[in-house]
């Protein structure tokens, strides 16, 4: 065994290539190698000598393997050093231009509005996107059979009781239930919502909604008007004008459409605002007494207002984008312009 190990050391000293090393490895450790042949002799030895022979044989295998691995590392290191000597990198060459996008404009709008509302004392709250019918419809004064519950508009998951929320209003309901009819509520609820709709330039089956709710004593429609005025001027500039128009929603009474003056024509009238001078950006109203009551608040003592924005619509108006699909398709030709749009405002 000692002769085999010495022979291996001598042969390793003279080789310089991986191929030669592999040949030596096969010669000593292969199926018909010298070390392997030694193991065949163990059956011919007396029982009392087999243990020592086996231990020495294992040591020979380990030592041989270690010597070969060390030589392999030595050869590979030498090959690498020669390669590095023959190669050079010209650091004066221009780097490869990597096209990058920009932070989502929709996310910027949501974060901007969150910061504004928090400065006004609102809390940002969230809720489940997989929602129960009673929170999404029933407790919002949308009884069974109401058109808004239609399966052609709603993604039902299990029967008619479990669905993908069609609005973030269920978060408002859950928050009021936590208040137990005793605590004022002042929250904003941004989040994803889902409706069965064909995707096009102005519609999507999934979109971001930003809803707000304030419940307290002696709250009136003028408080809603003042809040909306602050939001509109913050998003679209101090010269932005606002107005209310009568509308109808099952969960608010009275209900209003909230409009802003057209940023393109400054209220003069154009094709964007359909020559009205105003663009509708939100639906809102005073919380319906039935909604307050079912959430534990006495409508004789408590009142409140609620409003809802589509984040994509706000972003489209603010950044002059005419196709909301650019927010989701990750087309770098479009998204790389987002930073420039932000800087231009």
10-residue mean pLDDT series, the chain (345 residues): 84 86 84 80 79 83 88 89 80 77 83 94 94 91 78 81 92 92 93 89 88 94 95 92 92 94 80 85 94 94 94 88 81 67 52
First-last CA distance in the chain: 84
305: nearest Cα among 214, 243, 217: 214
Q: What is the CATH number of domain 105-344?
A: 3.30.930.10
> What pLDDT was estimated at residue 226?
95
Contact (Cβ atoms closer than 8 angstroms) between residue 277 and residue 261: yes
pLDDT at 338: 67
pLDDT at position 30: 82
Measured CA to CA in angstroms, residue 250 lies from 105, 129, 285 at distances of 32, 21, 10
Q: Residue 298 CA to chain centroid, in angstroms?
A: 39
Give the pLDDT confidence score for residue 263 in this predicted structure.
79
- Say whether the peptide bond before residue 254 is cis (omega within 30 degrees of 0): yes
Instruction: Write the Ramachandran bin of 218: left for phi over 0, alpha for psi from -120 to 50, otherwise beta.
Output: left
Interhelix angle 311-319/221-236, nearest 10 degrees:
50
Is residue 253 within 8 Å of 290, Cβ to Cβ? no
* Confidence (pLDDT) at 343: 46
CB 35 within 8 A of CB 59: no
Considering only CA atoms, which of 31, 47, 38 is closest in space to residue 7? Answer: 38
Q: Which helix (H) or strand (E) holds 243?
A: strand 242-249
Parse the chain into domains and list their residue ranges. 2-86, 105-344
pTM beyond 0.85: no
Bridge partners, residue 211, by sequence = 189, 308
Phi, psi (deg, nearest 5) at residue 45: -90, 155
Q: If we measure between CA atoms, which residue out of 97, 96, 105 comes closest to residue 330?
A: 105
pLDDT at 252: 94
Residue 216 is classified by DSSP as: E
Nearest to 237 by CA among 267, 272, 214, 273: 267
């Amino acid at each position: 065994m000692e002769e085999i190990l010495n022979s291996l050391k001598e042969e390793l000293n003279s080789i310089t290539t991986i191929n030669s090393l592999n040949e030596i490895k096969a010669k000593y450790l292969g199926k018909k190698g010298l070390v392997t042949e030694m193991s065949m002799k163990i059956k011919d030895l007396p029982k009392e000598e087999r243990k020592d022979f086996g231990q020495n044989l294992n040591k020979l295998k380990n030592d041989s393997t270690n010597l070969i691995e060390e030589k392999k590392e030595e050869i590979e290191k030498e090959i690498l050093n020669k390669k590095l000597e023959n190669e050079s990198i010209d650091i004066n060459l221009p780097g490869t231009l990597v096209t990058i996008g920009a932070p989502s404009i929709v996310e910027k709008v949501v974060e901007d509005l969150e910061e504004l509302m928090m400065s006004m004392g609102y809390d940002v709250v969230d809720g489940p996107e997989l929602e129960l019918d009673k929170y999404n419809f029933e407790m919002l004064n949308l009884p069974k059979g109401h058109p808004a519950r239609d399966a052609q508009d709603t993604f039902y998951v299990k029967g008619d009781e479990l669905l993908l929320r069609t609005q973030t209003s269920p978060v408002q309901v859950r928050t009021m239930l936590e208040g137990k009819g005793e605590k004022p509520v002042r929250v904003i609820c941004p989040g994803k919502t889902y409706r069965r709709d064909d995707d096009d330039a102005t519609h999507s089956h999934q979109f971001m909604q930003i809803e707000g709710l304030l419940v307290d004593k002696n709250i009136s429609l003028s408080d809603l008007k003042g809040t909306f005025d602050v939001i509109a001027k913050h998003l679209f500039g101090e010269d932005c004008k606002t107005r209310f128009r009568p509308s109808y929603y099952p969960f608010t009474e009275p209900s209003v459409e909230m409009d802003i003056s057209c940023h393109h024509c400054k209220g003069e009238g154009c094709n964007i605002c359909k020559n009205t001078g105003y663009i509708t950006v939100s639906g809102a109203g005073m919380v319906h007494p039935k909604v307050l009551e079912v959430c534990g608040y006495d409508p004789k003592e408590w009142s409140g207002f609620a409003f809802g924005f589509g984040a994509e619509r706000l972003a489209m108006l603010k950044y002059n984008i005419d196709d909301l699909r650019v927010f989701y398709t990750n087309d770098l030709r479009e998204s790389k312009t987002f930073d420039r749009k932000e800087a231009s405002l």
